[in-house]
Structure 1
């Protein structure tokens, strides 16, 4: 089997997982309106998750999970070696879902942090519906704040675009990063993280690519492909 064949298989199998959660992803009038508004503006968006968590999840949840899966596939087989993982600004669990699927590790301990209780509740529902191996905990936390332990890996999708001040503050940045961190975000945010990376950290990899949306998810995602920008960093002491 070629590498490309393996990726296609991953995405087809992950599509089946996402479809188990179809009741939380099925488009609504509000989610379609939100998606159309965001795509027409073509700019970085800051959302009010206390009022739009459900619409946001239905509009962008599946697409974001597929983007995160692509970023994880780029890391390769090492994904299975991370046991303690923290999803920073986890929202409704897009990255958590993708990580748990690809890791396929019953010993996984995944801790999701977010300020929105509604988003956290959606994350708990999605993880439960997906029936993936591992132990999962979702906690309401006003970020940025000290995680309280050093995860093997911190993951984050589209949190830094809403908290750009953390990128330029070495103290805050250090509080949030585990031994390694994998970030999915807008390309300009990835550029800024690279430019401002504090001393003590190094770039392990950076990727920009497109993810092909599985045909089975067309009704939910409403596009054929999506761009993915990611950066994988590590603490220099660990390398």
Structure 2
């Protein structure tokens, strides 16, 4: 993807995010949460049952932009995935970025998360964005069988809170589709690459920076953000699933 095309995607995606600005507008709680996280500079585990709204306002736009950056590494193939599962979808950051870039009316995107509060935000976000596709967000205590084999599983910052799945080949296989794209902390991406179970292979790794569009500066409160991702495929896929 050329630099000009990528810049255009981020500018257009900024317009989508601004359509959802009522969900992202900073609050006292979100500002306090962001300041606390940035002062600690460590992998964070959040209590989403209490802080879902504050977390979305503090980090939702930034995380969506990171996911969009990682998705650009798929180039034109992003349009080929019809059945997509967002694992630990939270408030829908990755779902939103994928739906925007895919632009596919045939998309069937299934988001799974344990927090009903987060899921309600994801439903509202996708509705406000008005992107093409069919979307379903379901409460699920993960890790657990998805129930079908997606063309692609996407996941942002779920594995950092469920590191035990990385080293468990059976659980990892339950979570993965035919392919998987993970966005997470660099340490987590490194561990996934090192512990990848038999039957999976790395299709690509991505690292870089997101330049925050000026129109989103008041929401994101920084000019750039680092992003790390890994794209994984199954070496073999059983038929009939």
**TMscore range, shorter length:** over 0.9
What does the per-residue CA deviation read over 1:9-64, in whole Å, with 9 as the maximum and x for residues that have no partner?
00000000000000000000000000000000000000000000000000000000
Tell me the residue number matched to 1:87: 86
Tell me the residue number matched to 1:58: 57
SS at match of 1:132: coil
Tell me the residue number matched to 2:74: 75
Alignment of 1:112-127 (within 5 A): 112-127=111-126
Aligned residues: 237
SS at match of 2:3: helix
What does the per-residue CA deviation read over 1:168-207, in whole Å, with 9 as the maximum and x for residues that have no partner?
0000000000000000000000000001000000000001
CA apart distance, 1:237:
1.4
Tell me the residue number matched to 1:184: 183
Q: In structure 2, what is the Cα distance between the partners aligned to 1:52 and 1:172?
A: 28
SS at match of 1:237: coil
Tell me the residue number matched to 2:164: 165
Tell me the residue number matched to 2:131: 132
Tell me the residue number matched to 1:214: 213
SS at match of 1:133: coil
Q: In structure 1, what is the Cα distance between the partners aligned to 2:233 and 2:91?
A: 26
Alignment of 1:97-112 (within 5 A): 97-112=96-111
Q: In structure 2, what is the Cα distance between the partners aligned to 1:38 and 1:167?
A: 24
Does 2:192 align with 1:193?
yes
SS at match of 1:92: coil
CA apart distance, 1:121:
0.1
Q: In structure 2, what is the Cα distance between the partners aligned to 1:139 and 1:103?
A: 21
CA apart distance, 1:73:
0.5
Q: In structure 2, what is the Cα distance between the partners aligned to 1:143 and 1:198?
A: 19
Tell me the residue number matched to 1:12: 11
Does 2:29 align with 1:25?
no
Q: In structure 2, what is the Cα distance between the partners aligned to 1:208 and 1:108?
A: 27
CA apart distance, 1:220:
0.1
Tell me the residue number matched to 2:201: 202
Q: In structure 2, what is the Cα distance between the partners aligned to 1:31 and 1:183?
A: 25
Q: In structure 2, what is the Cα distance between the partners aligned to 1:74 and 1:192?
A: 20
Q: Which ranges of 4 or more aligned residues in structure 1 deviate by more than 4 Å? A: none
Q: TM-score, normalised by structure 1?
A: 0.98
SS at match of 1:30: helix
Q: TM-score, normalised by structure 2?
A: 0.98
Tell me the residue number matched to 1:141: 140
